[in-house]
Structure 1
Amino acid sequence: MIGVLGAGAFGTALAIALARHGTPVALWARDPETVAAINHTHRAPRLPGATLPDTITASTDIARVARAETLLLATPMQSLHAVLSQVASPLTGQRVVACCKGIDVTDLTGPTGVIARAKPQAIAAILTGPSFADDIARGLPTALTLACADADAGWRLQRDLSTPTLRLYRSTDAIGAELGGALKNVIAIACGACIGIGLGDSARAALMTRGFAEMSRLATTLGARANTLAGLSGLGDLSLTCTSDLSRNYRFGLALGRGTTFDASLTVEGVKTAEAVTRLAARLGLDLPICRSVAEVSGGTVSVGDAITRLLNRPLKEE
């Protein structure tokens, strides 16, 4: 059995993908109505139109779900520590896979760092890359990075979580994988703002390229491998998130650029990540002007127009 903590769109989609091919899945949700809908109608409120296989069982009992040998954490990044704190078990020897993207705004670590701090006896891993929940739920081909510092555990996770349409590429560079997934959300906000204010596709391409340089600069400083950022969890995810209206981070940026409101009930991971990465860059003495600008614009201290002017007026330099 595989346990999934979080019955949002992405957690439910992963549960569907795994259960569709015969794997029993226990899915935890806080809301009893969501649990009842999943168990009795095989429908999920957060993923309309999807039918859940009979091998998915939902529960509000987090301890029951957390007994699974492999546990997928499909909760928002900033809620990850709080959810793990609800699990009384130390999860000794269990494979705990983060399926969220971001940097914790409190301790400035990625998902595997949060897992290591909260459950040091667990085997931490991360599943990340270019994907939308609806594509996974529909069985459309999707490729992701499965990163785990423990090579043997990573191999077993790759075997157990791959399906005919969900193709996982294995890596031991968990730092690179999680930073790629986190930072691309920040750059997606910048690209959305760029399009929203009317600067066009050429400007977006420039932001993506220079944003990728910032992603690589921070990740390699923290010990990541450069080729990890050039893979699915970095460049692949960046390409998807910066160009699709299905991305919340990109849509949030569009709203900033257009000066319109954005649905406050939707989680936009890039906002808190921009705040965290700006603090982390300052600690490390790194210059990340796009990430810093996104933090300032998202926080309301600088306008989109002023942020763009400041970026365009930076000194000319060698690429």
Structure 2
Amino acid sequence: MRFSSYFLKILLPFVCIGFLGANMNAKQSDPEGEFYLLEGKIGQDKLLLYLEMQKTAKDYYTINAKFSDSDSYFMGQIWEQNLSFVLNEENEIKKITGSVKFDKNHFPILETKIDEKKVNFLPSTHRLNTLKFVRIEFKEKKNIEDRFGQREITYKLEDEMFFIPKSLINTQAREKINDIIALGAKDFKHLKQKIQEKHNEQRAKEWDKLSFNTEYARYFGVDYLDDKILSFKITNYQYFGGAHGNVNISPLSFSLKDGSILSNKSEDLFKDVSDPTLLDLILQALVKYDKGEDAARFLEWGGESRKNISLPSEFYLNEKGIKFIWQPYEIASYAEGFISVVLDFDSLKPFVKENSVYRYLFEK
């Protein structure tokens, strides 16, 4: 079965530490971390590494890392007493080994080995190369009595928010973006307060009415970053009982020039989302995704008989091209998770609107 990194992530158990107030059934943690954009080279090929470091204990960090042209995450841990690490890819086929040290600005510098090649990753020269984030993890139990008798139910919440600290992008753009992604927080301390207030409001609305196990999770991830655009991928998960929860993802992109939200709707990028030549390219990419099968199962999913595949309503950015992602149940079963393909900029250039804000990506 194929799962995206975010789909796997939401199936992991919640890890909650600490206590909230006097309720010994309530457990909460709000670990904070930083996102870094790092640059390295293998020969003449430049590598961009998206790195998240989250301090979850006094001298303990968890690490998530991915290359800018991939959706596959490498995960691991480091201890401050021993800054060496092994990051394993989700499918455990590849790994990154190395060590980390920090410069005078506490920016990480990685000395790594990838496919037996030594690669050093240094701070990127991009105008925006670091963001802060905070995660709130909360779990509380409740005893209820109903027609099934007395029983215990669980309420779980996991949420995270990003915040852009001072950087080389202009103040107005930074504040405008933070108004959206950080609920208008003015600094990192304020962000932690905002996310706690948001949770308290949600709990107050739902707590007395809860009658079944309930779970909410929302994850932000930097999906693409250059000197003009910052784009997030947001994963939302909800569970209200039953065989499984519901999960969906969505993009959220910003202009680093003025902080405005950029459309990720396919109809705003392409001249004609029904262009048969464009759709045939997408279908051929799905054939490759399906390891050479004829992709008929995607056209026949749900008992339908389509002549061609439909574009997802939204698109995502990738270092190599445009990424198309279908939600669970759109063209395949829930068990397959998110199905995604990437088409390079050159292949898609003839179909892109001339006035699109993303047009410069197709002119490289």
TM-score if structure 1 supplies the norm length? 0.26
TM-score if structure 2 supplies the norm length? 0.24
| Structure with greater contact order relative to length (CA < 8 Å, sep ≥ 6) | 1
Bigger-Rg structure (1/2): 2
